Structure 1
Amino acid sequence: MSVTFKGDQELLNSLEKMARTEVYREVVKKNGADLQRKAQQKAVFKKGYSTGATKRSIKLDIASNGLRAVVKAGTDYSGYLEVGTRKMEAQPFMQPAFNEIQPKFIDDLRRAGIVK
């Protein structure tokens, strides 16, 4: 008597895909938290009246069932700080933080076998 399972390769493929998705979620969560921390570190402004409101307003939101991390500053004027205006020089904090974290994120994805 022998037992043969049909569709076992499909099951294995599905399980492997689920495991990869879980690893991806962990990488996104870790790097999202790193980006939030780095943006808060860089949100120190020398010009004008600094209250620390922008730094405190930087929040992390894990979206799309853990597949996307959104880091944003909640103050109404954070965009003006980032890019400046015609009368105010830019004091970027989000883009430099992103530029630091992006290579680490890609390396983590490579180590996890998600990206080649």
Structure 2
Amino acid sequence: MKITGIDALQNKLRKNAMLDDVKHVVKSNTTNMNKNMQNIVPVDTGNMKRSITSEFTDGGLTGTTGPHTDYAGYVEYGTRFQAAQPFVKPAFDIQKKVFKNDLERLTK
């Protein structure tokens, strides 16, 4: 399902659903992905776990979450000296199914 633009989204939403419902779905899924990342992330000092934060833009229609340390990419993908310890992609893979199902429920 691909919906581009707020007008197309509003036309696709079922009668009783509103943009506030979409914002709720975005917020809950972003928050859940944040929690999943924090549960999966490998912890040494706890700095990277504490750096995982969420941000909402576009009036709540866009949610972004992720780590904010310089070395998060090295942990996620590994280096030639260190094996990968993915935590962003596994959390994303779990949450994308839930997010898609939540949005499809609103459009039926």
TM exceeding 0.5: yes
The equivalent residue for 2:40 is 42
Q: Which has the higher contact order (CA 8 A, sep 6+)?
A: 2
The structure with more radius of gyration? 1
2:28 to 24, 27, 30: 30
Question: Within 2, Cα distance between the matches of 1:82 and 1:69?
Answer: 21
Structure 1 unaligned spans of 5+: 1-12
Q: Map Cα deviations across residues 20-73 of structure 1 (whole Å, 9 max, x no partner).
A: 32211110000000000000000124xxxx111111110000112111110010
What is the one-letter code of the residue matched to 1:107? N
**Structure 2 residue aligned with 1:8:** none
Matched residue, 2:91: 97
What secondary structure, in the 3-state scheme, does the structure 1 residue paired with 2:18 have?
A: helix
Distance in 2 between residues matched to 1:68 and 1:55, nearest whole Å: 22
Pair 1:81 & 2:79 matched: no
**Residue matched to 2:50:** 56
Question: Percent identity among equivalent residues?
Answer: 39
Q: Which runs of 5+ in 2 are unaligned?
A: 1-10
